[in-house]
Amino acid sequence: MKSRVSESVIDQVGNTPLLRLAFAEREAPGVELWLKLELTNPGGSVKDRAASRMMLSALDDGRLSSGKILIDSTSGNTGVAYSLFGAALGVPVQLVMPSNVSKARKDIARAFGTEIIFSDPMEGSDGAIRLVQKLVAADPEKFFYPDQYANPDNPGAHYHGTAVEILDAVGDHITHFVAGIGTSGTIIGTSRRLREHQRPIRCVAVEPADAFHGLEGLKHLPSSIVPAIHDKAAYHETFRVQTEAGWDMADRLAEEEALFVGHSTGANVYAALEIAKQLSREGKPGCVVTIACDRADRYFEPMKWDHKSLW
């Protein structure tokens, strides 16, 4: 196997590996459970796909012209991707995010020269959306606003990338695809492409069970601003996950599969495993694919020592 060679970090986005989860074999005999490791993208998350496609498309058609600042709202991962690719492309970046986003993601974005504007943490991602729209309306010539929640290149990145890679790997026997709703780009774009396949593939969206939840990056749609790119007709059903279930599964993935992932990944895998168990109970063969959205290290807070060293 040859090493991947490229001219830019942007060329390293995509073609992420699929990993078969061993514990699913024990709990759902006869059903395969695969995890697409989007955390291996150069920016460490699935958001690299949408961010790179939105930026490159805007550079191609002139919306992102010389001297403009890219600005968008983000809970973290898309902001890291914008920052990384902004540095690679020479594009200045400003991000609007809730002030309670993890320090790690703030620090990563700033390391690439990004300016961060904080919104009210009590308003969550919706508050960041409202603030960025206000800033752009006040000076539209200053900014390029990709608007990840409304930009068709967001789901387009998954229609032309994620889904194609999944079909190339397991297209002969995949039965289910499972992904969380944040901007909804991953579930919408991937599902649209998978449902064009000659074999039936059931697509399942994952949402937090409650409006006040701890699954960072996921949206509880009934209580949120619904993204303009969201299309409920793209997938078949919604699976709601409690915060504790997502957190516990993230811990389990670290302990049993040596995968250090965020809680949205935990929610995805929890839902996918429950679907796999149901298929197994019914005696149906299956192949369930879900998404590892990012690594857990970007959720860390600064170390707080519980003792003092004496010298």
Among 228-242, 263-277, 296-310, name the one with the lowest average pLDDT: 296-310
Residue 299, pLDDT above cutoff 90? no
Rounded to 5 degrees, φ, ψ at 51 are -60, -45
Query: Which of 121, 144, 167 is the last residue before a domain boundary?
Result: 144
CATH number of the domain residue 70 falls in: 3.40.50.1100
Instruction: Please check whether residues 257 and 182 belong to one and the same domain.
Output: yes
Is the CB of residue 178 less than 8 Å from the CB of residue 206? yes
Instruction: Please check whether residues 96 and 241 belong to one and the same domain.
Output: no
CA atoms within 13 A on the CB side of 188: 22
Instruction: Look up residue 91 and give its two tokens.
Output: 């594009």
Q: What is the mean pLDDT of the chain?
A: 93
Mean pLDDT to the nearest integer, 167-196: 97
Instruction: Please check whether residues 228 and 282 belong to one and the same domain.
Output: yes
Q: What is the pTM of this model?
A: 0.92
Instruction: Please check whether residues 206 and 283 belong to one and the same domain.
Output: yes
Beta bridge partners of 178: 204, 290
Residue 225, pLDDT above cutoff 90? no
In a domain, 302, yes or no: no
Range of the domain at 53: 47-144
Confidence of residue 1 (pLDDT cuts 50, 70, 90): low
**Distance between alpha carbon 224 and the CA centroid of its chain, in Å?**
17
Q: Please state the domain count of the chain.
A: 2
Instruction: Please check whether residues 167 and 287 belong to one and the same domain.
Output: yes
Instruction: Please check whether residues 32 and 58 belong to one and the same domain.
Output: no
The pLDDT value recorded for residue 300 is: 67
In a domain, 88, yes or no: yes
Q: How many CB atoms sit inside 10 A of residue 2's CB?
A: 4
Query: Which of 144, 173, 195 is the last residue before a domain boundary?
Result: 144
Mean pLDDT to the nearest integer, 150-179: 98
Query: Which of 97, 119, 144 is the last residue before a domain boundary?
Result: 144
Instruction: Look up residue 302 and give its two tokens.
Output: 């600064």
For residue 68, CA distances in Å to 45, 91, 146, 212 come to: 26, 8, 12, 36
Residue 66, pLDDT above cutoff 80? yes
Residue 106, pLDDT above cutoff 60? yes
How far is 61 from 220, CA to CA, in rounded Å?
A: 34
What is the percent of the chain where pLDDT is above 70?
Answer: 95
